[in-house]
Amino acid sequence: MTKILFMTTGQVHCFIVDQILKSVSKIYLFSLGKIIQYDVKPEPGDLIEIFRYSYQHWAVYIGEGFVVHLAPPLEGPGAGANSMMSIVSDSALVKQDELWDVVGTDKWQINNTLDAEYEPRPAYVVVREARASVGRQMPYCVFWRNCEHFATDLRYGKPQSRQVRKAVEVALVAGVVGLGLVALVGAIFGGSSKEKKNTQ
C-alpha cells in the first residue's frame, strides 16, 4: 500500500487499471465456471471427473481452487482426439494445477460415488498424499494404472477405474454376442446344407 504513495500519477493509474483487469478476468472466469459448471463447490479430497473427447479424466481437489492429477502426455483440455495417444504412453506425471486450467471448457462434476462401496480416507490424508506425489513420474497404463486409478487410490486407498470396468463389460457382452451370432450363422448355414444333402 505504501508503494503506491511513491508512484507517479501515471504509474498509479496503470497499477490500478492492471489490478482491475486482473480482478475482472478472474471474476469473469469464476462467474463463467459458476454459471455453466460450478453447481456444487468441491471440498478437499473430492474426486473431480472431467468429460474429455472420448474418455473421462480424473483429479483430486486439494482446496483453494487446485487439483492434483496423473497426466500422461497430450492430456489436457482441447486435446480432442490427440488425447487418445495417451493410451500408448507408459508413464505419466503427477501435476498440481488450477481446477479451471485442467477443466478448460469441458464439462465436469464432483464424483464420489464409490463412497457407497469404500470408506473414504480423511480429507487431510488425501490432500497430504496428493501434494506429496506432485512431480513424480509414475507408471501409466490405461487398463490398470490410469488417472482414475490414481485418484481413487488417493481417496480410498484402493485403485479403481469404473471406465475400464465398463469397457471390459462391454467387450465381454460384445464377445458373447459375437460368438452367439457365429453359432447362429453356423447353425443356419450348416442346417441348410444338411437339408440339401437329405433332399438329394
> Could you give the dihedral angle defined by the CA atoms of residues 111, 116, 117 and 122, in that order, rounded to the nearest 10 degrees?
70
57 is catalytic: yes
149 is catalytic: no
Task: Please report, as a single letter, which amino acid is at residue 146.
Answer: N
Q: Which three cell numbers stand for residue 36?
A: 455453466
> Which residue among the candidates 14, 141, 147, 149 is catalytic per the annotation?
147
Vertex 30: Cα angle to 71 and 19 (nearest 5): 105
The single-letter DSSP state of residue 9 is: H
Q: Where are the alpha helices (DSSP H) in 37-146?
A: 99-103, 123-133
> Which residue among the candidates 14, 69, 141, 149 is catalytic per the annotation?
69
CA atoms within 13 A on the CB side of 86: 30
The single-letter DSSP state of residue 135 is: T
Q: Write the CB contacts of 29 (distance below 8 Å, at least 6 apart in sequence).
A: 100
Q: Please give the positions annotated as active site.
A: 57, 69, 147
